[in-house]
Amino acid sequence: MKAPHLCFTVAASLLSTATLIADDADLLAGKWSVKKVNDEGQKYTQFVEIKQDKFDFQIAGEDDQVGFVAKGDFKLEKLGPFKAARFFHIKAGQSASNLEDSDEEYVSIYRLDRDTWTLASYFDKEREQKPALEVYQRVKSPTAQTLVIDEIEMADVPQGAAWFLCFDVKTQDGASRRYHVDGKEYDKKQVTIPVALEVPKMSAGKKCTFTLQLDDIDDDACGDEPDNRSTGEFTVSERGSQPYKPEDNWRYTIRWHLK
C-alpha cells in the first residue's frame, strides 16, 4: 500500500519543481547587468536580456560601445538539488549585424533573489574563460529620453559628382524618423552632415535600425532604387558613435547623444 503514496510524493515533487522553474522564468524576464574588470585592468559591463525562451547578451566597454553580441535560446532546468540556466543554439559576433553560428552551449548553476541573479559561470566544462561567480543586478526601466542623431560624417562616398542623401531611422517600438533636405546637394567625398534628428521615448540600451541612401538625383535619394543603399543598426548610449563601411569606397560614422 506504500506504492500509491510514493507515486503521489514523486508527482508532487515534480510539480513543485516545475512551478519553481516557471516562477523563476517569469521573474527573470527583462535586462540584467554585471560590471567586471579583465586581466589588463579594463572595466566592462555584461548585459543579459531574457525574453521568454530567448536571450540577448552584450559586452560593452567603459565608453558604452558594444564589442561582443550573442543571441540564442534560453531554458531553466533542475540539476539535482540545483537550478540551472542553459544557453544554447547560440549565434555570436562583434555586432548584431554580423553574427555566426556557434557550437557552444553554456550551463550555469544559479540563484535568484528578487533583483539579484547570481550565476556560477564557465564551470560546466573546460573553457578558455576562467570560472567565475557573476552577480547580475536587474536593470531598472530608465526614464524615457530623446535620442539626438547629431551628425553623419562621410569619410568617403561612392558618388563621383554632386549627390543627395536620405537617412531613415527606426526604433524597436516601430517609431521612425527621416532626414532629407529637398534640393540639398553635396559635392565632396569628405563631409560632415549636421543631421540633428530627434527620436523621442528612447533610453540607453535600446536599438535603432537605419537606412542611408545616396543618389545623384534628388527625387531618387529616398526612393526604392537609389544609386547606393546602406543598412545597419546601433545600440543607444548616453553619447556614442559607430563607423560603417558598406562598400570599399564608402565609409561613414554616425554620432548621437541622449538628452
d(CA 60, CA 62): 7
Q: What is the pTM of this model?
A: 0.51
* Residue 86 and residue 173 in one domain: no
Of 96, 117, 138, which closes a domain? 138
d(CA 220, CA 215): 6
Which residues, at least 6 apart from 132, have a Cβ–Cβ distance to it below 8 Å? 121, 122
Nearest to 146 by CA among 60, 193, 206, 95: 206
Over residues 121-128, the mean pLDDT reads 92
* Residue 10 and residue 123 in one domain: yes
Average pLDDT value over all residues in the chain: 90
pLDDT in tens, 160-216: 889 999 999 999 988 999 999 999 999 999 999 999 999 999 998 899 999 999 999
* Residue 67 and residue 169 in one domain: no
Query: Which CATH number characterizes residue 201's domain?
Result: 2.60.40.150
Of 138, 165, 187, which closes a domain? 138
* Residue 155 and residue 254 in one domain: yes
* Residue 161 and residue 180 in one domain: yes
Query: Which CATH number characterizes residue 129's domain?
Result: 2.40.128
Q: Which three cell numbers stand for residue 187?
A: 559635392
Cβ atoms of residues 213 and 166 within 8 Å: yes
Amino acid at site 13:
S
Q: What total of structural domains would you count in the chain?
A: 2
* Residue 127 and residue 152 in one domain: no
* Residue 6 and residue 128 in one domain: yes
Q: Which three cell numbers stand for residue 225?
A: 532604387
Nearest to 31 by CA among 9, 47, 8, 52: 47
* Residue 18 and residue 69 in one domain: yes
* Residue 130 and residue 160 in one domain: no
Angstrom distances, CA of residue 249 to CA of 34, 95, 147, 214: 39, 21, 29, 13
Over residues 111-121, the mean pLDDT reads 95
List the domain range (segments joined by +) for residue 102. Answer: 2-138
Phi first, then psi, for residue 142 (nearest 5°) are -75, 160
When pLDDT is cut at 50, 70 and 90, the band that residue 19 belongs to is: low
Of 103, 138, 173, which closes a domain? 138
Per cent of the chain over pLDDT 70 is 91
Which residues, at least 6 apart from 252, have a Cβ–Cβ distance to it below 8 Å? 152, 153, 154, 155, 157, 212, 230, 243, 244
d(CA 248, CA 105): 36
